[in-house]
Structure 1
Amino acid sequence: MSLNDVKSIFLVAGARPNFMKIAPLVRALRADGRLGWQLIHTGQHYDRDMNDVFFEELGIPKPDVFMGCGGGSHAEQTAKVMVGFEALCLERKPDCVLVVGDVNSTLACAIVAKKLQIPVAHVEAGLRSGDRSMPEEINRLVTDAISDLFFVTEPSGVEHLVREGKSLSAVHHVGHVMADNVLYQAAQSPVVSYSAPCEVAEFKELYGRGRYGVITLHRPSNVDDGSTFSAIGGALREFSRELPLIFPVHPRTRSNLERFGIDLGARITLVGPQPYMSFLNLWKDAGVVLTDSGGLQEETTVLGVPCLTLRENTERPITLDEGTNVLVGTNPHAILREARAVLAGRGKCGRRPKLWDGRAAERIVSTLVRELGVI
């Protein structure tokens, strides 16, 4: 094969949830060696906490292109990415554009590639919450409507895509690159040095493994509505009397705590956003995780940590059917009931789903090699 025959893929990353999914793909592409690739960072998340630290800790190389398209409303951000990515595609002419997840960059780059008649591969395709008030759901629906290859994490994704008219030959149930990353990084954590903020290290040392809980909250439906956030906060404060909790707080969430006058009490420790390895080493040793994050539902299932999801729906039903996740909604009584069940040893016992074995990225690369006609 000559250099001119090498097929080239754009790997698109833009926001913090993308980085954990790109890292295993980079490792798999390097190991396979049959495809050329370029890492395109749209800059959707552009501060150091959301960007540089994650690249360093996950071993992701410096992007080939950093577009710097962060900031603005959903429409402004999407438009900036589309304009910049179109120029890049016209200049470099990739043979395939691979997008991951459901952030604005995923949607924007998929649209541009499709209009330029460049094949689009979507990793984490087919997930559906059924809630179109979530920006991520719109991004998922539109991206899947125009993609050519679909890499699916769980059976429900296959079912959704087939129901929406996709050919089974284009849908590949490969497992989950998020699981690849968690298993890989968890194996590294005992032997690599990571810089945990002092307050996090002190918290873990004070309480010990399994004797604390972790909170994450960032969804607008939970933290932008004063009555909802106050109700959740009250339940968390009450539960913290029975189990100390630590809360890495998203900047908007912290602002709304102050705005709505929510006092979480002395048994909930508030800390800033965490680097990847610091946060992994925090939640993997927790007795319970209370979250509204999509990715954390999956990560806790991978490592067998009890997870209570403070949402009315989830696009990741396998974490409920097979994993350690329980959907508790935002009702304070339900939150307390399920949290106390975990504390009493009556929490849900789950298992790691099929194909969440650390080899999803390898399967994706093998499929891309075949589909792009590389011999």
Structure 2
Amino acid sequence: MTSLLQVHLIAGARPNFMKVAPLYHALAATDWARPVLVHTGQHYDAAMSDAFFTDLQLPVPDHHLGVGSANHAQQTARIMAGYDTLCDTAVPDWTIVVGDVNSTIACALVAAKRGISCAHLEAGLRSRDRSMPEEINRLLTDQACDLLWPPSQDGVDNLLAENVPAARIELVGNIMIDTLVMLQPAIAAAGVPESLGLSGYVLATFHRPANVDDPVRLATICEQLLTLAARRPVVFPVHPRTRARLNDAGLWARLAAHPQMHLLEPQGYIAFMSLVAQAGLIVTDSGGIQEETSYLGIPCLTVRPNTERPVTIDLGTNRLIEPGSIAQLGDAALDGARGPAQAIPLWDGHTAERVVASLARAAGVTAPMVSAAS
């Protein structure tokens, strides 16, 4: 080839960074593509963004849009305006968006309107709950993109049921597991629980508006975590949004006063996964943790009425629960015998390789991939 294929990788929020990292490294190892990191700045706190680039061995982004925090409409509009301006001078051959955040839909729309080929990594996931902003982002992104890469068969089935042509869909597996496999030695060596003097603990994470913006639900979650903490340590890395709501509701001081409740600042990827890997139980409202715990065989209670990742329930270790059931079901999970999770097809650490091969076919590239060491 006479020139490298310019591929924009869009990252705006913490889960995006985890998905972009293995793909960046796989594309950088070819002799036909140049991955270009575009950080929208949707997560602008260093603890929620910059630390992840360090942990994931990513370079400083080639472009930073710096959009910061805003409501959904304003943030999506700012990202669209910023990315559209960038594409005036740095036109990619392909734009790859990941996940389901505002950066995902914003950059997919810009690419579609400009006629830039666009692919969606983690396509086809559906919660069937349109009150979730992420569900709207997922639906619209999959309509805007030319190439769709679902992580599991249910994603393929969802897209086909929405009359997406099969030629646009290619099942590639779960890119989050690539990141976990890639960094497992560093995660094992991190020893974060040991440094905190912890064992046999529950790990909790909450950030979704449906849980933390509702004072009644938030109070129930806190009461249930305190009930669990009466029996064993509870480790709670607190998202900035959640911390603000806890303070507003007068709940922060109550949690902090409990000797078995360990409130932490947001963690980098390696430190956080060190906590995940040694936890006896995870209680969360996150999406990605449902996947990682299923791969690792760790019981996970997801405090949500639905999930866009049903495969983690069917084949993994995940269970959907209501806030008032956290302590009872948490105790049962901790007391129960733990068996290995059933392997989920293509969650094997090789998704980035399949994505690169799919992109090469779509772009008409016939040159062989060259390893990073060659």
Instruction: Report TM bin, short chain.
Output: over 0.9
Q: Which amino acid aligns with 2:226?
A: R
**Map of 1:268 onto structure 2:** 261
Q: Which amino acid aligns with 1:146?
A: A
Give the one of 290, 297, 301 matched to 1:297: 290
Please say if 1:2 is aligned against 2:2: yes
Q: Indicate if the aligned counterparts of 2:276 and 2:282 stay in contact, CA closer than 8 A.
A: yes
How many angstroms does 1:7 deviate by? 2.2
How many angstroms does 1:337 deviate by? 2.9
Partner Cα distance (1:286, 1:247) in 2: 12
Unaligned runs of 5+ in 1: none
Give the one of 158, 162, 165 matched to 1:164: 162
Q: Which amino acid aligns with 1:358?
A: G
**Map of 1:231 onto structure 2:** 220
How many angstroms does 1:70 deviate by? 1.3
More deviation in 145-154 or 228-237? 228-237
Partner SS state of residue 122, structure 1: strand
- Sequence identity percentage: 46
Q: Which amino acid aligns with 2:281?
A: V
Partner Cα distance (1:256, 1:72) in 2: 17
**Map of 1:277 onto structure 2:** 270
**Map of 1:46 onto structure 2:** 44
How many angstroms does 1:202 deviate by? 4.1
Q: Which amino acid aligns with 1:253?
A: T
More deviation in 170-179 or 255-264? 255-264
**Map of 1:256 onto structure 2:** 245
Task: Give the 5 Å matches for 1:329-368.
Answer: 329-330=322-323, 332=324, 334-346=325-337, 349-368=340-359
How many angstroms does 1:259 deviate by? 2.2
Q: Which amino acid aligns with 1:214?
A: L
How many angstroms does 1:130 deviate by? 1.0
Q: Which amino acid aligns with 1:294?
A: G
Unaligned runs of 5+ in 2: 367-374
**Map of 1:173 onto structure 2:** 171
What do the CA deviations read for 1:51-103 (whole angstroms, capped 9, x no partner)? 22111111011111111111222111111111111121122221111000011
**Map of 1:130 onto structure 2:** 128
**Map of 1:313 onto structure 2:** 306
Q: Which amino acid aligns with 1:57?
A: D
Partner Cα distance (2:11, 2:244) in 1: 27
Partner SS state of residue 95, structure 2: strand
TM-score, normalization by structure 2: 0.93
How many angstroms does 1:349 deviate by? 5.0
TM-score, normalization by structure 1: 0.92
**Map of 1:325 onto structure 2:** 318
Q: Indicate if the aligned counterparts of 1:326 and 1:348 stay in contact, CA closer than 8 A.
A: no
What do the CA deviations read for 1:128-158 (whole angstroms, capped 9, x no partner)? 1111111111111110111110001011101
Task: Give the 5 Å matches for 1:212-223.
Answer: 212-223=201-212
Q: Indicate if the aligned counterparts of 2:281 and 2:299 stay in contact, CA closer than 8 A.
A: yes
What do the CA deviations read for 1:148-181 (whole angstroms, capped 9, x no partner)? 1000101110111001111112111110110100
**Map of 1:13 onto structure 2:** 11
Partner SS state of residue 301, structure 2: strand
Q: Indicate if the aligned counterparts of 2:27 and 2:33 stay in contact, CA closer than 8 A.
A: yes
How many angstroms does 1:201 deviate by? 5.1
Q: Indicate if the aligned counterparts of 1:323 and 1:349 stay in contact, CA closer than 8 A.
A: no
How many angstroms does 1:37 deviate by? 2.4
Partner SS state of residue 62, structure 1: coil
Q: Indicate if the aligned counterparts of 2:19 and 2:175 stay in contact, CA closer than 8 A.
A: yes
Partner SS state of residue 125, structure 1: coil
Task: Give the 5 Å matches for 1:24-173.
Answer: 24-173=22-171
Partner Cα distance (1:190, 1:316) in 2: 26
Partner Cα distance (1:367, 1:298) in 2: 23
Partner Cα distance (2:236, 2:111) in 1: 39
Q: Indicate if the aligned counterparts of 1:15 and 1:45 stay in contact, CA closer than 8 A.
A: yes
How many angstroms does 1:111 deviate by? 0.3
Tell me how large the CA RMSD over aligned residues is: 1.6
Partner Cα distance (2:187, 2:217) in 1: 36
Partner Cα distance (1:352, 1:268) in 2: 33
